Chains A and B, each alone.
Chain A
Amino acid sequence: MAPSFLFSQFMGGLTTAMFLFLIASGLSLVFGVMRVINFAHGSFYMIGAYLAWQMVEWLHPSGEAFWPAALFAALGVGALGAVVERLFFRSLYGREELYQLLFTYGLVLILGDAAKFIWGTGQLSVSTPPVLAGSVQIFGTTQPLYTLFIVAIGPAIAFGGWLALNRTGVGRMVRAAQMDREMLGALGANVGTLYTGMFVVSAFLAGLSGALVTPVQGIVPGMDVLIIVQAFIVVVIGGMGSLWGTFWGSVIYGEVLSFGILIFPGFSLFSVFALMAVILIIRPWGLFGRPL
């Protein structure tokens, strides 16, 4: 196998990984602080994609609209997250975790049909922004600029997140909440606002990743369900609540998929779930997580 071929498979896997990291980071964040798995995270991603498409349609069907559209989408989903958290989620905090989980699933059902109702059932498409529409030759392979952009953004967000968590006051509160939220509340911190803030940030990230995926994939009903399971797998492998865990979990997932199809074509569907099961059996808190 030519090294250039291996390199293109590797880059392909890395692209998948970084897209997944963008989405999964929000999921992991919410879990780390609020100890709840948000099924609706995939729905936020989907709404982000639809909003980006809508914005591009409104501004003008040309590539320059893409960047404001992506930002608008992310902010829109962030706002949706704020509404969801304040109006509904809040009242479920004292209750059993099962109820919180089911609430997020109820959201999946509602948001999924709402998107179908607003944007129809067909597959929608967004063009790559012109500034990133070209490609470069690296090691004898063609790498689209957009792919390189995504591969760069992933670590950038990971590093930015790490900085925010470890070098800011808010970050310190978030880390404290991850360790012991009751204590944090007892010490006078406004845990309620912290939760809302975390949820909004997570939704923003989901919406942003949805928007950023539109030049590469189709926007279609069902993309919420498809992505959430993948995000779960990544978060389990890397460790829930750990930013770097999610990052490396995504990389592992992306590369297993990318090279898996070379070894055994039907493999990929089964292998990622098997990997998730193995991690849960051997080391449930993931590669980088802390035991709950």
Chain B
Amino acid sequence: MKSALVAIDPLIKESKKFEHFCEILKAFQSEGPPI
């Protein structure tokens, strides 16, 4: 996938959940399906 629109709930932006979300996106970028 060449481009994706990422929607983020501002309520989770400062939480651990957001860190995990970013961790998964990074994993996608480095080893997984390119998003």
Q: Does A pair with B?
A: no
